Structure 1
Amino acid sequence: MKRYWYKFRVKYGKVLDTGKQKKVSEEYLVDAESFTETEKRATKAATDLIGTRDFDITAISREPITEILHEEEKEDNHWYKTVVSLVSEDTETGVKKFSPQTIYVNASNTKEADRLLREHMSDTLSDWEVKSITETKVLGVLGYKG
């Protein structure tokens, strides 16, 4: 069965340093085969992260992700959604074709995300262009372990 990346949002009451409770919403990416598996893994992950079952999974959506780039997630790092277009040319018509690729990059800032992306793409045989780099609200990535 084909695997996909899904993004899920979990909402829960978080106790702040001041002792007040505040509703927070966090986003995570999960590698799964279906929405059902995503919900199951999201529930387990949220329970482990929050330490209670007092939360709601408020959204699950399939994400068209080509790759995830991260070496070591650091606490101050952010997840950036980058879009790279692979450029090819039709030999008969001479028309250029662009194939967008979505790559999530874990980095401390936009400049580092750009550097890591370009370093990763440097071995690509076809021409390519960076179309966008956007910071996301994603806090973590749950890859498939199985």
Structure 2
Amino acid sequence: MSWFECKVTYEKEIAESGKVQKVHEYYLVDALTFTEAEERMSGEMENRGPFRLDSVKKVNYSETFFNNGQLFYKAKVGFIQLDEKNGVEKKKYTYMLVQANDFRDALEELEKQMKTTLADWTVASIAETQLVDAFRYEAPEAKPAEAQ
């Protein structure tokens, strides 16, 4: 599976003021293709009234760590590798997504998840994203065989 970031525009009631306002929100969808991502995002949004799917773009997260946090953080992690030709250490960077309540929780969750990694690694950066939610793929339930 791949991750796709979807930008959606729709009208939403703002809790503090009670006013209806047009909002732009970003969601993450687990899908195989752009078409599937668009279809799944449309399914998630259909109960919220009229909406517009503004963009769908593929994002490269090598790992995703979900929990009950309210925010999503993009972590840039560098893995230290030895270039055997030159005998020099190089860093290969990859991106990971961490769900957490704040920056400190994101760093702690990332460190906890990376404890089992045998490779040497460092955190180059962690930044809060604009993601509102992530929709992971769930296999459809098997239908029971009909009685003969």
Q: Which residue of 1 aligns with 2:35?
A: 36
Q: Which residue of 1 aligns with 2:124?
A: 131
Task: Tell me which amino acid in the other structure corresponds to 1:132.
Answer: S
Spell out the pairing of 1:12-27 with structure 2 (5 A cutoff): 12-17=10-15, 18-27=17-26
Aligned with residue 144 of structure 1, among 137, 140, 144: 137
Q: Which residue of 2 aligns with 1:11?
A: 9
Spell out the pairing of 1:67-106 with structure 2 (5 A cutoff): 67-71=63-67, 73-74=68-69, 77-106=70-99
> How far did residue 21 of structure 1 move?
1.5
* Deviations 1:22-68, CA, capped at 9 Å, x for gaps: 111111111111110010001001114x2x2x010111100011111
CA RMSD across the alignment: 1.3
Structure 1 position 116 matched with structure 2 position 109: yes
Gaps of 5+ in 1: none
Gaps of 5+ in 2: 140-148
Identity score, percent: 31
> How far did residue 90 of structure 1 move?
2.1
> How far did residue 101 of structure 1 move?
1.7
Secondary structure at the counterpart of residue 7 of structure 1: strand
4+ residue runs over 3 A deviation? none
Task: Tell me which amino acid in the other structure corresponds to 2:73.
Answer: Y
> How far did residue 94 of structure 1 move?
1.0
Task: Name the TM-score, length of structure 2 as normaliser.
Answer: 0.87
Secondary structure at the counterpart of residue 115 of structure 1: helix
Secondary structure at the counterpart of residue 119 of structure 1: helix
Task: Name the TM-score, length of structure 1 as normaliser.
Answer: 0.88
Task: Tell me which amino acid in the other structure corresponds to 2:78.
Answer: S
Partners of 2:14 and 2:91 in 1: how far apart? 47
